[in-house]
Amino acid sequence: MGGVKGSSFHNYIILENLEKDLCPTLMVHFIREQTSLTGQAYVFPSLTMETYARGAIVADNISNLKRICDFISNPNHLIVSLSGRPWVIAEDMLRTRSFNLNSWSLQPRFENIYTRSELKVVRLGTEEYMRAKALKDLYMEFCNHLNGLAQRLDMEEKKRQPSITN
């Protein structure tokens, strides 16, 4: 599952703003229940100071990944955890690249997939949606601020590097 036969390339999207204790198996069940598509999911370890985790969803072909991505990014609803934390797609692009599927060894071990990080769809027009949308917008503002700082740091570092002359 998750790759082009005979190659090490995989079709995936990166998600952000996930609950730190989100079970990848729960993600797979949720996606299958909502879209009838099967894939693999990963939740990556995060820094202690981060209040969220990142993860990935891997599909067996680009068509299925596009359908999953369309479901997640549908403007008529948001996917949220039980606490109301909305999923965010990290980039507006589907990736077909090498992806180390051995990262399963980094996954936390879950005795019960039904942890406090249950998932649900909240529909446009509901109060839950409005709260989740406000949180998503705040998260996006945070990401844009971090990206601006990273670009500024990169620019400052390049200014301070000695130029190489022939």
Tokens of 52: 């969220």
0.75 cut: is pTM over it? yes
- Across 45-50, average pLDDT: 89
Question: Mean per-residue pLDDT for 116-121?
Answer: 79
pLDDT of residue 160: 86
Helix, strand, coil: what percent of the chain each, to 5? Answer: 40, 25, 35
Percent of the chain at pLDDT exceeding 90: 61
**Mean pLDDT lowest among 69-73, 95-99, 143-147:** 95-99
Give percent of the chain above pLDDT 70: 78
Confidence class for position 106, pLDDT limits 50, 70, 90? low
Strand locations in the chain (E): 9-18, 39-44, 53-59, 77-81, 88-89, 95-98, 119-123
Averaged over 131-137, what is the pLDDT?
96
DSSP string, 70-89: HHHT-TTEEEEETT-PBPEE
- Indicate the domain borders of the chain: 9-160
Please report, for residues 31, 60, 124, 145, 157, the alpha-carbon distance to residue 111 in angstroms, rounded to integers and kept in the order given.
20, 27, 34, 38, 46
